[in-house]
Amino acid sequence: MKINEEKIANQFKSNWQNSYNFDVLKNPVETLIRNIKDLERENMFANEMIMFFDNKRFAPLYITKNIETILGYPQQAFLDWGKDAFLKIGTFEQNEFWKNIWMWQNDFMEIKLNHGKSPTTFRSFCAGCCSKHIDGRRMKFLFRSEYPIRENKVMPDFHFARLKGDIGHLLKKDGYFFYCEKFNAHEKVSKFYSESGTSDYPISIREKEVLKLIANGMNSKEIAAKLFISLETVKTHRKNMISRLRAKDTSSLIQLCKLCEII
């Protein structure tokens, strides 16, 4: 049997965090940074920047070299800026955005796990955060953050983030959302926040079934027949998902859900 090396490489590329000794609960940050540098040498990252952030100093510990090709800033200059790094690449027209994100994160952190003393991971997906390109352009990113929590402690010493962009073409104008999870070996809690309200999940179980079938190329009539629901119900599910995730259209909805690991 012939081995499809390209397929294996693509699978590894999409799952490198789980495939390459990248457990944030078991490894010190130095090991994680070393692993990222190894993956950089294999050209694993294209439109995705990887960053480690020191929460005590409020400064980046490391960011991948492709910050220069994506945002135009030299890697070392960004690291040398320390706590001023995000002021230099940030945009100030998103004050309401960041106000809501911090409010939503604090709200979510109030949720306690029953097994809070077990090693726990916090993970969030923040869609729509802006950064400023060196030439002045505004670019929108999906900011995927992850870090360990000890005994329900809110803020660890560092956190790990993946910045995927530019996703501005996937979102409606000024659209954004925040989806977060907290989980350990015993349990998992999650919450989805947007300007239109909050829910435990971005999409319901039924909506996920519909969306997966759309992503597989089925039309609304075929989906209705397969799931034994009306055509209008399929259209309503599609419309609600697009509205809730602030997506521009169905194709954008599918891409956003894949980026946020919803489907």
Give the CATH number, domain containing residue 229: 1.10.10.10
* Integer Cα distance of 46 and 14 in angstroms: 12
Length of the chain: 263
Q: Are residues 194 and 211 in the same domain?
A: no
Q: Are residues 212 and 185 in the same domain?
A: no
If 0-12 CB within 10 Å is exposed, 13-18 middle and 19+ buried, where does residue 177 land?
buried
Residue 252 lies in a domain: no
Q: Are residues 69 and 192 in the same domain?
A: yes
* Integer Cα distance of 91 and 129 in angstroms: 9
Q: What is the pLDDT of residue 199?
A: 93
Query: By residue range, what is the domain housing residue 236?
Result: 205-244
Q: Are residues 122 and 195 in the same domain?
A: yes
Query: Comparing C-alpha atoms, which of 237, 170, 243, 171 is closest to residue 204?
Result: 237
Residues 6 or more apart whose CB falls under 8 angstroms from that of 148 comprise: 24, 25, 119, 120, 121, 122, 156
Residue 130 lies in a domain: yes
Low pLDDT (below 50) residues in the chain: 1-3, 5, 7-9, 11-13, 16, 18-20
Q: Are residues 166 and 225 in the same domain?
A: no
Q: Specify the CATH number for the domain of residue 186.
A: 3.30.450.20
Q: Element (H or E) spanning 106, and its range? A: helix 95-109
Q: Are residues 35 and 144 in the same domain?
A: yes
Q: What is the pLDDT of residue 204?
A: 93
Structure tokens at 156: 């660890």
Q: Are residues 111 and 223 in the same domain?
A: no
Q: What is the pLDDT of residue 116?
A: 61
Per the structure, the count of domains in the chain is 2
Q: Are residues 64 and 186 in the same domain?
A: yes
133 contacts 71 by C-beta, under 8 angstroms? yes
The two counts, helices (H) then strands (E), for the chain are: 11, 8
Last residue of a domain, one of 199, 216, 231: 199
172 contacts 247 by C-beta, under 8 angstroms? yes
Convert the pLDDT of each residue in 204-220 to its tens digit: 999 999 999 999 999 99
